[in-house]
Structure 1
Amino acid sequence: MIGRQLPQNDQGSILQILLWFLFIVAILSVGARIGTKFYMTRKLARDDWILLAAQSAYLAQCVSISLGTSQGLGEPMSSLSQDAVERFLQAEYASFVFQLTALALIKWSISISIRQLSPSATHQRLDLVLRLSVGIWVLSAVLTTLFQCAFPSPWDYVHGSRCINRRAWWAYVAIGNIGTEFFIVAMYCMIIGNLRMSLMRRSVVLLIFSTRLLIIGIALAQLTFFLNAFPSADLTKDIWLPTVLNQAVLSASVVTACGPYLRPFMESLESGVARVLPESEEDLSHDRMGPSANHLSNYNSAACSQATDR
């Protein structure tokens, strides 16, 4: 029946299912990306290793949320013991640190990919601004999370003293996430707009990269529900939906970071990049940026050799 609330014990079970389902989707996406790139170049680049580190942080976040769910996440707080509430708050405390770390690592991985797509000095400077913005955002957000309440129980914002305003804190986290995602999509549009390919192909390429706008939509919903959940007299029950949206943001961040690296799409993109760069500019870019600048040319070489073999 529409609008009917789930039974208390079912909310935790559904969260566990969604939690690990979304994580498996992310794992499969990373596997497809890594497999594609390794098949074509026989090596992994820095952005791949950073994405793998992000996936490790994502796994730690899932374990933390799973532990919190086992302590009563989704159930009324009045039905839980004091110890259960304490353990839930500790699990949530750890999960936010891992979540922020995973999101930042994903953005840094994308930033390295963007840097490899274009040797333009303007794009390089904008990419540096993106990296610094993500660094400032994640550092400030993580430090605020770690010291959100006075010691010796910084995780206990229910019974603790001198705690931060969680509504303001989450608004800052969400707005920072949304702002950097807009920055990423804008940079993609700037770079792809200069590629020498047909309008149809350019539109398809842009559509693939613009799937990161999905993260912005989920993050806005996440922010709305989180603000509605605070302050709450029944925290463990009201935080259920914002937690589900947290997992959706993480999974979508990973999936949309991996989508452009599927082999047919990447070959099409790189052919456009190769046509837009004069040979002398490519050589200059390689000299300036070192081995990472060979990322696209390695793809093109692999694609050409496979075409010759066929």
Structure 2
Amino acid sequence: MPAFDLSLECASIVIVTTTAVTWSLLTLAMRYFIRLKINGPLGCDDYACSVATVFAVAHSIVTLCEIAFGFGNRKTDGSSLFSEQVGPYVTNMLYTIAITFSSLSISYLIARVVSKVRHKKVLAYLIIGATACWGLAGVITWAFQCRLPHPWNIDRPRHCISLVGAWIGLSVGHAALELANVVLAIAVVWKLQMPVKDKSMIVVAFATRLLILPPTFMRLSALR
């Protein structure tokens, strides 16, 4: 994107980011319209989805700021601190929070559906608790990834945790929680008295959550 003095890679990030933000906001607006006008009331799943969207948008904004400060381009003395240290430090925490509330949204939705089935409701809330603990652990990990007072300064490896190790641990935990949500959703849907075709469509809808996992593990491969 020569007109904006961006490399091809940075231009691709800008396009994907702005497109994703637009679709996320449109999807959230549609969700609220359906809840308020057709199939209410609002529940914890809707609020969790809203929080996830807010933090995802914030993550996207910081990412665009990183690009504006030189991310993906040659190092410059005036831009490297934010684009290479502070920016990623902030986006790691925003990403973790967004993913946490996104997973919580699915868990709360399942809990709402099985509200009258005690053992499945308990399982749903166990997943909710585990997801909340995972998110808190992730935020704390990134917040204190390096020694204070500059926890974003990854240029001092001896004063930092293993960032690759942290990503691997958090990604495995995230994958397990997403899989637990999908398995519980399948167990719930398959007990419903409805045609198999309709059940299959609902199962596929829940299973699309697993599409977030390949990019996660591709990121791990890139980090290594």
Q: What TM-score results when the alignment is normalised by the length of structure 2?
A: 0.90
Task: Say if 2:34 and 2:40, in contact at 8 Å, map to a contact too.
Answer: no
Q: Out of 222, 225, 241, which is 2:222 matched to?
A: 225
- CA distance in structure 1 between the aligned counterparts of 2:95 and 2:89, rounded to whole angstroms: 10
Would the alpha carbon gap of residues 193 and 42 (structure 1) be closer, same or farther in structure 2, given more than 3 Å must change? closer
After TM superposition, the structure 1 = structure 2 runs for residues 250-269 of structure 1, keeping only pairs within 5 Å, are none
Deviation at 1:10, TM superposition (A): 2.5
Would the alpha carbon gap of residues 81 and 17 (structure 1) be closer, same or farther in structure 2, given more than 3 Å must change? same
**Which one has more relative contact order, counting CA pairs under 8 Å at least 6 apart?**
1
Aligned position for 2:22: 24
Deviation at 1:8, TM superposition (A): 6.8
Moved more, 43-52 or 148-157: 43-52
Aligned position for 2:170: 173
- CA distance in structure 1 between the aligned counterparts of 2:128 and 2:209, rounded to whole angstroms: 17
Task: Say if 1:104 and 1:138, in contact at 8 Å, map to a contact too.
Answer: yes
Would the alpha carbon gap of residues 216 and 177 (structure 1) be closer, same or farther in structure 2, given more than 3 Å must change? same
- CA distance in structure 2 between the aligned counterparts of 1:35 and 1:42, rounded to whole angstroms: 9
Deviation at 1:126, TM superposition (A): 1.0
After TM superposition, the structure 1 = structure 2 runs for residues 29-68 of structure 1, keeping only pairs within 5 Å, are 29-41=27-39, 43-68=41-66
| In the alignment, structure 1 residue 154 sits paired with structure 2 residue 151 | yes
Moved more, 154-163 or 184-193: 154-163
Task: Say if 1:111 and 1:130, in contact at 8 Å, map to a contact too.
Answer: yes
Q: Which runs of 5+ in 1 are unaligned?
A: 1-6, 228-310
Task: Say if 1:150 and 1:161, in contact at 8 Å, map to a contact too.
Answer: no
Q: Out of 196, 211, 215, which is 1:214 matched to?
A: 211
Aligned position for 2:76: 81
After TM superposition, the structure 1 = structure 2 runs for residues 173-212 of structure 1, keeping only pairs within 5 Å, are 173-212=170-209
Aligned position for 1:129: 126
- CA distance in structure 1 between the aligned counterparts of 2:151 and 2:16, rounded to whole angstroms: 29
Q: What is the DSSP-based 3-state SS (H/G/I as helix, E as strand, rest coil) of the residue aligned with 2:51?
A: helix
Deviation at 1:172, TM superposition (A): 1.2
AA matched with 2:192: L
Deviations 1:82-113 (A, max 9, x none): 33111111111111111111111111122111
Q: Which runs of 5+ in 2 are unaligned?
A: none
- CA distance in structure 2 between the aligned counterparts of 1:41 and 1:170, rounded to whole angstroms: 38
- CA distance in structure 2 between the aligned counterparts of 1:160 and 1:83, rounded to whole angstroms: 22
- CA distance in structure 2 between the aligned counterparts of 1:80 and 1:215, rounded to whole angstroms: 31
Percent of pairs with identical residues? 20
- Matched residues, number: 218
Aligned position for 1:96: 92
| In the alignment, structure 1 residue 72 sits paired with structure 2 residue 58 | no
Deviation at 1:145, TM superposition (A): 0.4
Deviations 1:229-260 (A, max 9, x none): xxxxxxxxxxxxxxxxxxxxxxxxxxxxxxxx
- CA distance in structure 2 between the aligned counterparts of 1:199 and 1:67, rounded to whole angstroms: 48
Task: Say if 1:189 and 1:206, in contact at 8 Å, map to a contact too.
Answer: yes
Deviation at 1:205, TM superposition (A): 1.8
- CA distance in structure 1 between the aligned counterparts of 2:78 and 2:40, rounded to whole angstroms: 51
Aligned position for 2:137: 140
| In the alignment, structure 1 residue 9 sits paired with structure 2 residue 7 | yes
- CA distance in structure 1 between the aligned counterparts of 2:41 and 2:113, rounded to whole angstroms: 18
